Structure 1
């Protein structure tokens, strides 16, 4: 019984002490005394010492003149090891500094623009007839464009064009061919009796090629294998065209088989 009574008494004492601590009032601290007159108040700033503005230099009164005294080097803030690091880096020898990066390709000078080469037109020849000029055109191929064939008439005007049939084996065979020519309704013929063309049948002689070609077309339409032969100072055929870009003139002349070349205005090909 005595033990229980002691436990109850101790519990009541603890409850009383706890209630006193909870219900007691905090003692009021006395306000700090005001600073003396002429003394600056010290306050804490979040930026530390770096945020405190520098104090103005002290004023010295000399004979009624106020003069600001600059701070001496001894009063300056000593340099920290971090501040001295850049100075040591500047004092490093030039050989220890890294070399500048090499120039890139973008910094290279831009080459000047090259003007396009103007077109060149030439005339290749001379060729004996249209067939030879057409053959030369096929040989030249893609080296020439805007090609045309042009006949240059003989200067003297003595050219003659003859339409002839091949020479027959004998005189009798030539006469048999003439009978077939008459039966086909053709006229103006004669048999060559001597020379290299003996027993050949001539079907006319003309001063211009156009007339001779019309006569040869009519003979061929009748079923005869006629041919055109130029005699005297015959005309010449030329192959005219524009050279492909970058093609040397000598290469085009050699491929076509022409003996000569002449410069030509490209406007003449249009």
Structure 2
């Protein structure tokens, strides 16, 4: 009995709570937050018939015609970077002209034409005199590169005044000179004598000649016998000169000192050709 009474009471209470829940006022909805200025309102469009119709309409719409484009133009458009967002302008008008002046190339100064240097005319000289060809040749070697187009020149002596002697080197004593004479006789040579005084003392003279050709033939004969004579010119004998053109900035006095010549003379360069 008590159980039934409790069940009835609970049923009545549940019914009362249900009626109260259905009949109470709905709570007020919270107000939406304020929308920022300049921002469009986002609305949600539910699907269904409208969405399906919109999709069908877009599928039935004719596709735009394809337009052929230049590949180079397409490449240029694709490679063009998007414009950057404008930054806050911080212009410095005072420095703009300086930047333009720096970026612009400065024209190079035009080359100044130089007048060609006037070449100096060649200078030629004659060095000498030398007693024989060997002395002139030795002077040529000493002059070296200071002379260009160098050549040896013999100046003939006046007729009847030249003398050429053929001598053997001076011995250390009179006895050695006499021993040399014995060797000369044994070789079958004649026309000899021993010089007793002077700078050629104890030298053996093998003849004196008025022309150079005769003296040179005598020297050849003595050399064939095994001796080494030398030619000595005397009187107004022929002289040897060294002719040449001065090289570069060489001076006549410098070349004369280098060669050991007694004097130097100006010479026409045409005579060297």
- TM-score class, shorter-chain normalisation, is 0.5 to 0.7
Residue in 1 aligned with 2:252? Answer: 249
Of 142, 146, 152, the residue aligned with 1:149 is 152
Whether the 8 Å CA contact 2:131–2:233 is kept in 1: the answer is no
User: Could you say which residue in structure 2 is the equivalent of 1:216?
Assistant: 219
1:10-62 residue CA offsets vs partner (Å, 9 max, x unmatched): x9xxxxxxxxxxxxxxxxxxxxxxxxxxxxxxxxxxxxxxxxxxxxxxxxxxx
Aligned equivalents of 2:135, 2:190: Cα separation in 1: 30
Structure 1 residue 162 displacement after superposition: 0.9
Please identify the structure whose Cα radius of gyration is greater.
2
| In structure 1, distance between residues paired with 2:252 and 2:170 | 43
Per the alignment, residue 106 of structure 1 pairs with 110
Q: Corresponding residue for 1:180?
A: 183
Determine if contact 2:158/2:237 at 8 Å carries over to the other structure: no
Residue 110 of structure 2: SS of its match in structure 1?
Answer: helix
Contiguous gaps of at least 5 residues in structure 1 = 1-10, 12-97
Q: How does 1:1-270 map to 2 (within 5 A)?
A: 105-106=109-110, 108=112, 110-155=113-158, 157-168=160-171, 169-170=173-174, 174-192=177-195, 194-196=196-198, 197=200, 199-270=202-273
Instruction: Kindly state the Cα deviation for residue 175 of structure 1 after the two structures are TM-superposed.
Output: 4.9
Instruction: Give the count of matched residue pairs.
Output: 169
What is the distance in 2 between the residues matched to 1:198 and 1:243? 41
Q: Distance in 2 between matches of 1:234 and 1:143?
A: 29
- Give the TM-score normalised by structure 2: 0.52
CA deviations over 1:117-137 (Å, ceiling 9, x no partner): 232222112223323222211
Gaps (5+ residues) in structure 2?
A: 1-48, 50-100
| Counterpart contact for 2:163–2:210, Cα < 8 Å | yes
Contact residue 246 and residue 252 of structure 2 kept, 8 A: yes
- How many Å apart are 1:107 and its aligned residue? 5.3
CA RMSD of aligned residues (A): 3.0
Distance 2:249 2:177 in 1: 56
TM-score (norm 1): 0.53
